[in-house]
Structure 1
Amino acid sequence: MCPKVLTFLLVASFQIYTETYGDDFTVMSILKDAWVNTPRNWVGADPCEGKWEGISCKKSRVTSITLAAVGLMGELSGDISSLSELEVLDLSYNTRLNGTLPPSIVNLKKLKRLKLAGCSFSGPIPELIGSLQLLEILELNSNRFTGSIPHSIGNLSKLVVLDLFNNLLDGSIPVSSGNTSGLDMLVNALHFHLGRNRFSGAIPNELFRSDMTLIHVLLHDNNLTGSIPSTLGLVHTLQAVRFEGNSLTGPVPSNLNNLINVTTLILSNNKFTGPVPNLTGMAYLSYLDLSNNSFDASDFPLSFSNLRALTTLMLENTGLEGRIPPTLFDLPSLQTLILRNNQLNGTLDVATSSSSQLKVIDMRNNLISFYPESPERRNNLDVILVGNPVCAHPEATENYCAVPQANSSYTRLPEKCVPLHCISDQISSPNCKCSYPYRGVLVFKPPFLESRNSAYYVHLEEESLMRSFKFHQLPVDSVEVNFPAKDSFGYLESNLSMFPSGQDHFNTATISDIGFVLTLQTYENSDIFGPTYFKGSPYPYFDGKPTVSKELSSTVRIIGAAAGGASFLLLLLLAGVCAYRQKKRRESASEQKNHFAYLDLKNSDSVPQLKGARCFSFDEITKCTNNFSEVNHIGSGGYGMVYRGMLPTGQLIAIKRRRQGSVQGGLEFNSEIEVLSRVHHKNVVNLVGFCFERGEQMLIYEFVRNGSLMDSLSGLSGIWLDWRRRLKVALGAARGLAYLHELVNPRIIHRDVKSANILLDESLNAKVADFGLSKPMDNSELILATTQVKGTMGYIDPEYQKTLLLTEKSDVYGFGVVLLELVSGRKPLERGKYLVAEVSSLLDRKKDLYSLHELLDPSIGLDTKPKGLDRIVDLAMKCVQEKGSDRPTMGEVVKEIENILHLAGLNPSAESESTSASFEEASQDEFPPSLKEEEFSLS
C-alpha cells in the first residue's frame, strides 16, 4: 500500500506545483492586470501565501474571490474559467465593472455562489449557465443584461436564490416542456427576484408547484399580461408576492387566501377586475397594496378589519364606496392607510381608535362629509382630506384640509455620547466612534409621499436594519439613514451609512455579507418604507499593505519556486508518516469494532462517545432512500436536506443530510450524536444512527410523522390542536427538557428550545429534537461561559445574550416563549416585535388579562375561556423573567402543567395510548386531507 501512496503523492506534488503556479497564479495575475483599483496588498506572484485581500485558498488553490464594492474597473476575463476549484465569485457593487459575462464561466463546475449585483455587465446570460450544478446563489441584479432567461437555469437543482432584478431581460418566463427545463424545476429555491425587466406574455400556470419552497415571488414592473395563475395558491411557504406594474387582468384568484405566511402582497397598477379579494386567511399580512385596478364598485370590505398584522393598507383608486368600518382603526399595528381617489363617504371617526401606531390617513378626493378632529391625536397623526366635502365647511382647518409638508430636517434623538473629531476620512458614528462607514443608497417604494411623520419612519428603518444585522451576526456597530428624497420614478432614495464594530473598517467578506443581507432583508421588512432595494457604493478603506515595487515580484516567484521544492521533500516524509498512521488506525478500528477510528470531523477534538447509535454505511442510506429521490425529500433546514427512508426491518427513519457549506459543521454533528446516543426518553427524539462516509455527515432519527409544533400552529401540517392537546404537548416537551436537565449524566442544556424543535408523533406526543447546539453541564459548575451567543431570535434568553453565561434557565426562557406560542398562535418575532414584549405590554394595560380574546389563538375554537388559561399564561411569564434566578426549574414547570391538566379534567399520568385513542377518534373534519407525511420538517 505504501508504494502506491508514495507514487500518488509524488505525482500529486508535481501536479499541485504545475497547476497552482501555472494556472491559478497565472489567472490571478491576468485578472489583476485587467482590472483597475485592485486591493493594495495584491503584490507578488502568490495570492494564497501573500494573503491577497478578498482571496481565499485551500491547498494553494483559489476557492473564493470576494471583492464587493472595492471600486474595480474593467472587464471579467474569460481566463477566470481556469480557476477550477473556485466556489465563490462575488464582484458585487463595482459599478464600473462592465462588458459581457464570458461564456466560459460555465466551466467553473465547483462554483456555488455567483454574485455580480450592482455592476454594469451587459449582453446575454450564458445559455449553458445551468451546467453549474452546485450553484446555490445566482445574483445578477441591477446590471444591463439583455435577452431571455436561459431555460437551462431550471437544471440548477441546488439553487436557493435567483436574483435577476433590474435588468433589460425580455421574452417569456421559461417553464419546462419535454426535454427542456424551466424555472418550475427549482423546487429548492427560496427567492425568485425577477422584477424591473421587460418580460412579456402570461405568467405560466406551470411555474408554481405545491412542492416548492419559495418565500419570495417578485415579478413587478414588467410587461406581463393574462391573469395570476391559480397554482400560486399552492406555494404555502410564500412570504412576499409582488406583481405590481404589469398589465395583469381578470379576478384575483380566491385561493391566494390559502397563503397564510404572506406578509407582503402588492398587486397595484394592473388591470384586475371582479371583487376586491377577501384575504382573511393571510394572518401575517403586513403590507397590502391593491391600488389602481378596476375592481367592481363595492362597499369597503369588512374582511380587512380581520387582518390583525396589517401595518400598511393602500387602496387608492379601487372603486370603493360607502363608509369605512370603525373596526378598521382598531387594527393594533396599522400605521399607514392610503385610500385616495375613491367614493368613500360619511363620517371619518378615528377618535375612538384603540391603535396607537396609526400615523397617516390619506383620503384625498373622496366624499367624506364630517371629521370630528381629535386634539390629542393632532400631533402624531396626519389626516389628509383635501378634495372631500368636509373641507368646504367653514369650520374646516388646515390640520386635515391641507397636505402636510414632510419634515426634511430630521432631528435625531439626543446622543448619549459626545461626537468625536475624527482624523482623515473617518466619521463619528451615532455611537460616537471614529470609523470608516460603508455607504450606499436604499431605494423605497413609498406607502406615502408627504407626511410630517416621515422622520418617525426613518427612525424605524434604522432600528429594523440594526435588528437584521445583529440577527445575521454582522459586525455593524450602528447605522444612519438620511431623510429620503424623491427620484424621477416617484420612488424615495435615502443615503445609508453603516459603521463597523470592533475595528475602524470593514473587510471584503463583511461588505459582501452586508450587501447580500440588504438584498434579501429589504424585501422582508417592507412594513417601514415599503419594499426596497440597495445600491452599494465603492468602499476604499479596506486594511491593506502599501504597494510593493515590481522588482519584488520576481523575488517572490523565486521564493515560491523554492517553497515548492521544499514542499516536495516534505511530502516524502509525510508519506511515511501517513502509512504508519493508517496502520495504527486499522488496528484501533479492529479493536473498537466500529468505524469511528476513521472519523475526521472538522473542529472536533475527539470522536463521539457512543451508547446505542449505529454507524450506517453510505450505501445503506442510499438504498433506503431510493438514492435520495425527490419523493423522499421531506424538508430542509440550516443543517441541510431531510429525507424519509425505510430500513430493511420496516422501520421508518428520517435522515438529516448535511449540506455542503452548512452553518453547522463537524462540532455540531459530533455534539448531536454524543447527546442523543445516551438519552432515552419518550419525549426526546430517538437517534437511530449516523453516517460519515464519502465526505457526508448524516444523522438518522426515528421518523416523527406529524412534523413540528411550529408547523401545526401555523397550519402547515393540517393538524388542529385544541386546548387539551396543546396542554398535552406542553407537558410532553417540559418532561423531555426536565429529563435533560435533571436525570441525564452529565446533564444537558438544549440551547435552542423552540416550537420548530418540538416534534409530534402519530399520537401527538411531543418529542424534543435538534441537539446540534447542546451543551453538557458539569455538576461542579452549572454556569458555562461561552464566547458566542447561539440560538434562534425570539427564543434567546436576554440574560444569556447580555452576560454570555449559559445556564439551564436559558432553556426555561425558550420554553416560556413556546407556551406563549401555544396560547396565542403567534410567532415569537414578527415585523420586529417580540411576542414576550407584546404579552408583557398587554399585562400592563389590562387588569384582567386572562379574559382577553385578543391573546387567545382563534383557531382553538372556544367561545369561553379555556380551563387553566390564566395559569398557563402566568407560568409562561414566570419562565420569561429577565433574570434566570427568577424563573422556575423545568421540574417545577412539569408539576405546574400537571396541576393545570388536572384542572382541565385530564389525567397527566396517562400513557400515550390515551392520546392516540383520542387522536384516532377525531373526525375527518378536524384533520383535513392536507395532513401529509411530506410536510414533516426537522431543521
Structure 2
Amino acid sequence: MITCWILERRCLQGLHCFLSNKSIPILDVQEEEFAVLEMGSRRQTFLLIFASQILAILGQTNSNDAAALFALKASWNNLPPNWEGPDPCGSSWAGVICNNSRVTSIKLSGMGLEGNQFGDLSSLSALQILDLSNNVGLKGTLPPSIGNLKNLTTLILVGCSFFGPIPASIGSLEQLVFISLTSNSFTGPIPPSIGNLSKLSWLDLSDNKITGTIPISHDSVLGLDSLVSTRHLHLSKNQLSGPIQPQLFSPDMKLIHVILDHNQLTGEIPESLGSLQNLEILRLDWNSLNGSVPSKLNNLTSLNELYLSNNNLNGSIPDLTGMNLLTYVGMSNNSFNASSVPQWFTSLPLLKTIYMENTTLQGQIPVDIFSLANLETIGLANNKLNGTLDIGTRYGNNLTLDLRNNSIKDFTQKTGYNMNISLAGNPICDGTGATAKYCAIQISNDSFSSPMSCPAMSCNSDKTLSPTCKCSYPYTGTLHFFSLSFSNLENSSYFSTLAGSMMKAFLSNGLPVDSVSLSDPTVDVYSYLQIEAQIFPATQDSFNHTSISSIGFLLNRNPFQLQYFGPFFFTSEGYCCFADGKKKSSHTGLIIGISVGCALLVLLTLCAGLYAFHQRKIAKRAGHSSNPFESWDRDTSGAVPQLKGARWFSFEEIRRCTNNFSESNCIGSGGYGKVYKGTLTAGEVVAIKRAQHGSMQGAFEFKTEIELLSRIHHKNVVSLVGFCYEQGEQMLVYEYIPKGTLRESLSVKPKFQLEWTRRLRIALDAARGLAYLHELADPPIIHRDVKSNNILLDDHLTAKVADFGLSKLLRDDDKGHVTTQVKGTLGYLDPEYYMSQQLTEKSDVYSFGVVLLELITARAPIERGKHIVRLVAETMYDSKDNSKLYQLIDPRIGPGSKLEGVDRLFALGMRCVNESGADRPSMGEAVKEIESILEIASLSKHREDGLTSTTYEDTTQVSLDDFYNDKAFDYSGKYPSGGLNTTY
C-alpha cells in the first residue's frame, strides 16, 4: 500500500504537469495536501472526484456541471445507487436530466436524502427544474447563491427541513414559474423581491414560520401586488401579521386561489378583493380580521369556496346573491349582527356545504333551504334558532343537519325522515317525546377507501394488493388539500373522480403506474382534507428511483384538472423497495476513460482500484460484526444478557404460536404491519407485532428499541415479552391485553359500558404510566403517540399505555427537548411541537389532555372538521353556568350536573392542551389532580351506596410520595411487603 501511495502521488503530479498548459479544470494538487490526506475514504473520494473531472471532458457532461454534481454527491447521503461513474449525463444518473451536455433538471423527490449543504449547486447555470421534495433529512438554510440559477423555472422543496430566512436573491430568478416551499421551517419575512418574478404562476409558502406583513410595492421596491401573472397565492399556516393592504389586489391580476388562513392578520377585508374576477377559492379563516364583509365580494361571480370563519367580523351577514358557482360557505364564529337565516342560500343552486355556527342567527329556518339539490351539510349549531323545525319533503338523502345548542322547541317530522339530524341542546330534547335519533350526540364515522373487486386474494406480509388485483410495493403518502367543495366523505364518486384524474396525469406523462388507491379521508384541525394515497407500479412489483422522483414531482407540481377538490401538496416518508437497489460499484467506465485519455490515467486507476479492493476487504471483514445482534449470546434458556426480562424467539416459534400467521389470529393492523394473537408453548397468550417490509427499521435502531422496551416495567405500561429478528423479519412480542383499546370502549357500540368512576380510574392509570416514562425511566422516554387507541384495557379494566414505535429518549444533553421530524396522530398532535419540531415531555401532556376530553365526551378528536379542544373551549367560553358544557358529556355516564369532579377534569384537560407547553402541567401533577378528583367521586359514590369514607380510605388510598419513591415502588406497580397495592 505504501508503494501504491507513492506511485499515486507521482501519477497525480505528472497529470498536473501534463494538463497544466491546457484549459481543463482540474483540482490543484500541492505537496502539502498529500501530507494531510488520510489513508481512509477521504483519499478514495479525492481520487474519484479528480478522475471524474478529467473524464467529464471525454464524456457527455459539461465539466462545470459534473463538478457541481460531484460536490452534491460528497455533501449528501442516500443518493440513488447509480450515481456512479464520471459522466452524469452519459450514465443517466437517476433524477438528473441533461440537454446538450448541460444539466437542466434535478428531480430527487422522496429519495430519503440527508445533508445540510448545497455544495456548488448554484454553478448549474442551465438548471431549469429543482425538486428536492419529501426529503426530511435535507436541512439547513437556503443559500443566497441560489439566485445564480438564472434559468430556473420550477423550485419545489415541499416536506424538507429547511429553516432560516428565504433569501432575497430568489427574486432575481426571473424565469421562475412555480415556487413551493411548503411544510418546512422557514422564518423571517416574505422577501419583497418576489414581486420581481413577472412569470410566476404558483407561489406556495404555506406551513412555515414566516412572520411580518404581506409585502406590497412602495417607492421603487416591488411587492406581491406586482405578481399580475400569478394564479395561486398560498401563504397559509404561518405567523403573518398586520392588515391585508388594499393595494395587494387589482383587476389586472389572474389569481384563482387566495389562501391566507391560519395567520395573525388583522384589519378589514379589503374591497379590492372584489376586483379578482377569476377568483375561485378565498380562504381568510382563522385570522383576527374585523369590520364588516365588503359588499364588493358579490363581484366574485367565479368563486366556488368562501372561508371566513373564526375571525372577528361584525356588521351584517353578507348577501352573496349572484355568486351562483358557490359550493362552500364558511362564516362560523364571527360577531355578525343578529339576523335570521339568510334567504339568499336558496338562490345558490350548487351549494354543498354551509357552516354558520355561532353567528347569532335567530328565528325559524326557511324550509326552502333543505330543497337545494346538491346540499350535503348545514352546520348552524350554537345560534339562537327557535320555533318549529320543518325540513319539508324535498331534501337529499345524504344531508347532515347540525342544529345543536339552539332554542328549537318542536320538530314537524319526528319520525320517518331520512337525514342526519342533531338537535342535542335544544328544548325539544328536554320533552317526553324526544328521541335518541335526533337528540343524541352524533359521532361521525365517515370513511372511504377505493373499492376492491378482487376475488379472495391476499399478498404476503410485505406486499399490498392493488385495485387491479396485483401484489406489489406501492408508493404511499398523503395528499393535503387546501380546500374542498364537499363535506360528505362517504361519497365514493368524489374520490373515484380524483383517482381517475391522477391516473390520467400519470399515464400522459409516461409513468409506469398501474393504479391508484385512496383511503382514510379526514378533515384536520385546519379544515384541510387529507387522503392517504397508494400508487402501484405497472411493469414490475416495485418502482425504481427515477419513477418515484417523477411521481413525487408530478404530485407537487399540480398539473391536474380536478373537480370538487382544491389545490394540494403531497408528503411521503419515502419508499421502501426500490427496484434498482444498490449494486456493487464498478470502475469499468473509469478504466476505459483513462485508457482513452492517456496511459498515466490507467496507472492512476490501477492504484485507486487496488486501494478500493483493499478497503472492500476491510469492509467485508467488518461486515460480519455489523449486525448488532451478533454479540447477543442466546443461551439454552433463550435469554439475552443485555435485555431485562425479554427473550429472543425464533421465527419458527412465532410461526407456530400464530398458526402460521393465519388471518383468524390477526387482531389488528396499521401502517407498521399486523398484530397477531399467539399462544406460547407454556400457555402464555401474547400479542405479536409483525413489521411489514416498508416499515422496518435498521438493525441498530431495532436493537435500541428492544433494549429500551425491555427496561420498562410498570403495571400501567404494556410489557415486552420478547422479539424475533430472523429471516428478514422484525417482530415484537407483548403481553396480551384482552379488552382492547380505550377508543373501542368509547365507540358508539362498545362491548361494555364505562361508568364515571371507572373512566377516572382509566385516566389515572394512563397518567401514571406516562408519569413513569417521563419521571422514573432512565433516560426519560417521550411516547410521542399518546392516543385512546394506544391505551389498552386488561381483564380488570386497568389501563396500560402501549405502542412505543415513535418514542424518543430524552438524554441529559438534549436540554429538555429532542429536535425531530414531526410524527404522531392527527388530532392528538401538540401544535407547539408541530411548529417548532422540538419534542418535549409536554407534547405527551397535550395528547393526554385530548384523551381526557375523549373520556368525558366519547367524541373523536376531530369530528365533522372540528377539533374537540376547540369545541370544548368555545363551549366553556359560551357557558356561564356550565349547562352547555354538560351537554358535551357522553350521555351514557349520566347527567353532567351530577358527576362529581367533571368540572375539574374538564379544566385539567384544557390545562393539558394549553397552547404553550410551559403552561401545561407535568404528568406527575396530572396524576395528583386525577387522584384528588377520583377520591371525591368515589367518596360520593360510596355515600350513595351507604358506605363510609373510612371504608374507602382504608382500602384504596395510595400515597403519591410512595408512588414516586424508588425504594417503595418496584416498577411493577406493586408495593413491597407491608405496603398497599394500587387498586385503582
With the shorter chain as reference, the TM-score category is 0.5 to 0.7
Query: Which of these residues, 360, 383, 386, is aligned with residue 400 of structure 2?
Result: 360
C-alpha separation between the residues in 2 aligned to 1:559 and 1:49? 18
Counterpart for residue 411 of structure 2: 371
Instruction: Give CA deviations for 1:175-222 in whole Å, capped at 9, x if unaligned.
Output: 111210111111111110100111111111111110111111111111
Relative to structure 1, the CA distance from residue 500 to residue 411 in structure 2 (aligned partners, 3 Å threshold; closer, same or farther) is closer
Q: Is the 8 A contact 2:477 2:534 kept in 1?
A: yes
C-alpha separation between the residues in 1 aligned to 2:447 and 2:523? 15
Map 1:43-442; keep pairs closer than 5 Å: 43-356=84-397, 358-373=398-413, 377-378=417-418, 381-407=419-445, 413=451, 415-418=452-455, 420-422=457-459, 425-442=462-479
Stretches of structure 2 that go unaligned for 5 or more consecutive residues are 1-21, 26-53, 602-984
Relative to structure 1, the CA distance from residue 121 to residue 419 in structure 2 (aligned partners, 3 Å threshold; closer, same or farther) is farther
Q: Is the 8 A contact 1:466 1:478 kept in 2?
A: no
Counterpart for residue 460 of structure 1: 494
User: Matched residue of 2:288: which SS?
Assistant: coil
Partner amino acid, structure 1, of 2:246: N
Q: Is the 8 A contact 2:333 2:358 kept in 1?
A: yes
C-alpha separation between the residues in 1 aligned to 2:193 and 2:367? 53
C-alpha separation between the residues in 2 aligned to 1:16 and 1:517? 31
C-alpha separation between the residues in 2 aligned to 1:441 and 1:251? 37
Relative to structure 1, the CA distance from residue 519 to residue 11 in structure 2 (aligned partners, 3 Å threshold; closer, same or farther) is closer
CA shift for structure 1 position 278: 1.0
C-alpha separation between the residues in 2 aligned to 1:12 and 1:446? 54
CA shift for structure 1 position 271: 0.6
Q: Is the 8 A contact 2:449 2:518 kept in 1?
A: no
Query: Which of these residues, 494, 500, 504, is aligned with residue 470 of structure 1?
Result: 504
Q: Is the 8 A contact 1:266 1:288 kept in 2?
A: yes
Q: Is the 8 A contact 1:338 1:448 kept in 2?
A: no
C-alpha separation between the residues in 2 aligned to 1:131 and 1:463? 40
CA shift for structure 1 position 84: 1.2
Instruction: Give CA deviations for 1:832-883 in whole Å, capped at 9, x if unaligned.
Output: xxxxxxxxxxxxxxxxxxxxxxxxxxxxxxxxxxxxxxxxxxxxxxxxxxxx
Q: Is the 8 A contact 1:54 1:508 kept in 2?
A: yes
Q: Is the 8 A contact 1:419 1:432 kept in 2?
A: no
Instruction: Give CA deviations for 1:637-664 in whole Å, capped at 9, x if unaligned.
Output: xxxxxxxxxxxxxxxxxxxxxxxxxxxx
CA shift for structure 1 position 460: 3.3
User: Matched residue of 1:262: which SS?
Assistant: coil
Partner amino acid, structure 1, of 2:84: V
Q: Is the 8 A contact 1:154 1:184 kept in 2?
A: yes
Stretches of structure 1 that go unaligned for 5 or more consecutive residues are 1-9, 566-939
Instruction: Give CA deviations for 1:40-76 in whole Å, capped at 9, x if unaligned.
Output: 2211111111111111001221110001111111124
Q: Is the 8 A contact 2:407 2:427 kept in 1?
A: yes
Q: Percent identity?
A: 44
Q: Is the 8 A contact 1:122 1:146 kept in 2?
A: yes
Aligned residue pair count: 547
C-alpha separation between the residues in 1 aligned to 2:270 and 2:302? 18
Relative to structure 1, the CA distance from residue 106 to residue 409 in structure 2 (aligned partners, 3 Å threshold; closer, same or farther) is closer
User: Matched residue of 1:226: which SS?
Assistant: strand
User: Matched residue of 1:106: which SS?
Assistant: helix
C-alpha separation between the residues in 2 aligned to 1:409 and 1:164? 30
C-alpha separation between the residues in 1 aligned to 2:128 and 2:264? 35
C-alpha separation between the residues in 1 aligned to 2:201 and 2:109? 20
Partner amino acid, structure 2, of 1:370: D
Q: Is the 8 A contact 1:78 1:104 kept in 2?
A: no
User: Matched residue of 1:248: which SS?
Assistant: strand
Map 1:756-775; keep pairs closer than 5 Å: none
Alignment of 1:535 onto 2:557: no
Relative to structure 1, the CA distance from residue 544 to residue 412 in structure 2 (aligned partners, 3 Å threshold; closer, same or farther) is closer
C-alpha separation between the residues in 2 aligned to 1:33 and 1:429? 38
C-alpha separation between the residues in 1 aligned to 2:595 and 2:103? 19
Relative to structure 1, the CA distance from residue 161 to residue 503 in structure 2 (aligned partners, 3 Å threshold; closer, same or farther) is farther
> Looking at CA atoms only, which structure, 1 or 2, has the larger radius of gyration?
2
Partner amino acid, structure 2, of 1:396: A
Relative to structure 1, the CA distance from residue 515 to residue 382 in structure 2 (aligned partners, 3 Å threshold; closer, same or farther) is farther
C-alpha separation between the residues in 1 aligned to 2:267 and 2:143? 35
User: Matched residue of 2:277: which SS?
Assistant: coil
Partner amino acid, structure 1, of 2:444: A
Counterpart for residue 479 of structure 1: 516
Counterpart for residue 767 of structure 1: none
Relative to structure 1, the CA distance from residue 466 to residue 526 in structure 2 (aligned partners, 3 Å threshold; closer, same or farther) is closer
Instruction: Give CA deviations for 1:700-723 in whole Å, capped at 9, x if unaligned.
Output: xxxxxxxxxxxxxxxxxxxxxxxx
Partner amino acid, structure 2, of 1:363: L
User: Matched residue of 1:114: which SS?
Assistant: strand
User: Matched residue of 1:460: which SS?
Assistant: helix
Q: Is the 8 A contact 2:75 2:119 kept in 1?
A: no
Relative to structure 1, the CA distance from residue 560 to residue 390 in structure 2 (aligned partners, 3 Å threshold; closer, same or farther) is farther
Instruction: Give CA deviations for 1:485-519 in whole Å, capped at 9, x if unaligned.
Output: 68677877553322244554446666556556655
CA shift for structure 1 position 480: 3.1
C-alpha separation between the residues in 2 aligned to 1:221 and 1:515? 26
Relative to structure 1, the CA distance from residue 482 to residue 131 in structure 2 (aligned partners, 3 Å threshold; closer, same or farther) is same
CA shift for structure 1 position 406: 3.0
Query: Which of these residues, 558, 568, 580, is aligned with residue 544 of structure 1?
Result: 580
C-alpha separation between the residues in 2 aligned to 1:523 and 1:232? 26
Map 1:432-831; keep pairs closer than 5 Å: 432-443=469-480, 454=489, 456-457=490-491, 460-470=494-504, 473=508, 476-484=513-521, 494-501=531-538, 503-506=540-543, 511=548, 514-515=551-552, 534-544=570-580, 546-549=582-585, 551-552=587-588, 554-555=590-591, 557-558=593-594
Partner amino acid, structure 2, of 1:392: D
C-alpha separation between the residues in 1 aligned to 2:553 and 2:320? 31
CA shift for structure 1 position 422: 4.0
Partner amino acid, structure 2, of 1:461: F
CA shift for structure 1 position 257: 0.8
- TM-score, structure 1 normalization: 0.54
Map 1:825-844; keep pairs closer than 5 Å: none
C-alpha separation between the residues in 2 aligned to 1:112 and 1:220? 27
Partner amino acid, structure 1, of 2:311: N
C-alpha separation between the residues in 2 aligned to 1:523 and 1:351? 40
User: Matched residue of 2:120: which SS?
Assistant: helix
Partner amino acid, structure 2, of 1:430: P
Counterpart for residue 37 of structure 1: 78
Segment of structure 1 superposing worse, 498-507 or 198-207 = 498-507
CA shift for structure 1 position 146: 0.7
Q: Is the 8 A contact 1:420 1:434 kept in 2?
A: no
Relative to structure 1, the CA distance from residue 208 to residue 23 in structure 2 (aligned partners, 3 Å threshold; closer, same or farther) is same
C-alpha separation between the residues in 2 aligned to 1:87 and 1:128? 16
- TM-score, structure 2 normalization: 0.52
User: Matched residue of 1:184: which SS?
Assistant: helix
CA shift for structure 1 position 532: 6.3
CA shift for structure 1 position 370: 2.0
CA shift for structure 1 position 17: 3.5
Partner amino acid, structure 2, of 1:403: I
C-alpha separation between the residues in 2 aligned to 1:111 and 1:272? 42
